[in-house]
């Protein structure tokens, strides 16, 4: 999911080996020095073998280094601070957009042959209020994408986690504070990206009551 309209009303509930090492001692008894010398010489690798072995080790080290550098490149993004905090007065939720990681490598389907797009990871922190149950969803966070609203790119979850970030799916209010990252793909990026948090209108179970929608804006600065 990437672009979406407003959500329908939600339902809220009122809350009342160990390892061991052994040392083996080897002793030589009655061994003829000359025989031992011959055995050692016979078992020693030739100069050609030593050079070949050294070349193999160098190639293996180079491959490992290239692999490590490739993984580092894949995880590379530019982090920027956002620090936008807002309180939902109806629910008591305190929501903070802490930071964003911009320009992330991605294989997201909308990014194919689109040099103007960008995968952004939004870091959010949620401290739920105690008045209601239910969850705060990743679908409530949006970025402007060429005049349209783009929200969470769920299929980018694996690449976000492979890059070392914790995926934010939803934050059940009963579980308390939660922090994580939401991948959002914008089809047309900009130096500064406008964003918003929007909790839709909610119906309270067992009561003839509706909790009105809450929305607040934030901005992701240039990398």
d(CA 106, CA 162): 11
* pLDDT attached to residue 206: 87
pLDDT in tens, 70-95: 444 445 799 999 999 999 999 999 99
Give yes or no for residue 114 having a pLDDT over 80: yes
* pLDDT attached to residue 76: 78
**The CATH classification of domain 78-220, taken from the options 3.30.190, 3.30.420, 2.60.40, 3.90.1070:** 2.60.40
d(CA 117, CA 79): 17
* Averaged pLDDT for residues 86-111: 96
Whether residue 163 contacts residue 104, with contact meaning beta carbons closer than 8 Å, is answered with: yes
Name every residue whose Cβ is closer than 8 Å to that of residue 129 and which is 6 or more positions away in sequence. 88, 91, 92, 93, 94, 173
* pLDDT attached to residue 69: 47
* pLDDT attached to residue 143: 98
- Beta bridge partners, 81, equal 99
* pLDDT attached to residue 220: 98
Whether residue 82 contacts residue 102, with contact meaning beta carbons closer than 8 Å, is answered with: no
pLDDT in tens, 126-166: 999 988 999 999 999 999 999 999 999 999 999 999 999 99
Q: Which of 46-60, 78-92, 98-112, 164-178 has the lowest mean pLDDT?
A: 46-60
């Amino acid at each position: 999911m990437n672009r979406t309209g407003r959500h329908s009303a939600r339902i809220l509930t009122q809350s009342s080996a160990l390892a061991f090492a052994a040392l083996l001692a080897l002793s030589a008894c009655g061994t003829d020095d000359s025989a031992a010398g011959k055995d050692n010489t016979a078992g020693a690798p030739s100069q050609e073998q030593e050079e070949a072995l050294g070349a193999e080790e160098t190639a293996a080290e180079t491959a490992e280094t290239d692999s490590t550098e490739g993984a580092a490149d894949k995880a590379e993004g530019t982090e920027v601070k956002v620090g936008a905090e807002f309180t939902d007065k109806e629910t008591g939720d305190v929501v903070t957009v802490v930071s964003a990681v911009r320009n992330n490598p991605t294989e997201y389907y909308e990014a194919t042959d689109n040099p103007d797009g960008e995968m952004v990871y939004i870091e959010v922190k949620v401290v739920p209020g105690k008045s209601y149950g239910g969850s705060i969803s990743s679908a409530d966070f949006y970025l402007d994408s060429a005049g349209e609203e783009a929200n969470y790119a769920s299929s980018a979850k694996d690449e976000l986690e492979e890059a070392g970030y914790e995926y934010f799916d939803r934050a059940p209010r009963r579980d308390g504070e939660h922090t994580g990252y939401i991948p959002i793909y914008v089809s047309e990026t900009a130096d500064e990206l406008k964003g918003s948090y929007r909790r839709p209108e909610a119906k309270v179970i067992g009561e003839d009551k509706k909790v009105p929608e809450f929305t607040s804006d934030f901005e992701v600065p240039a990398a």
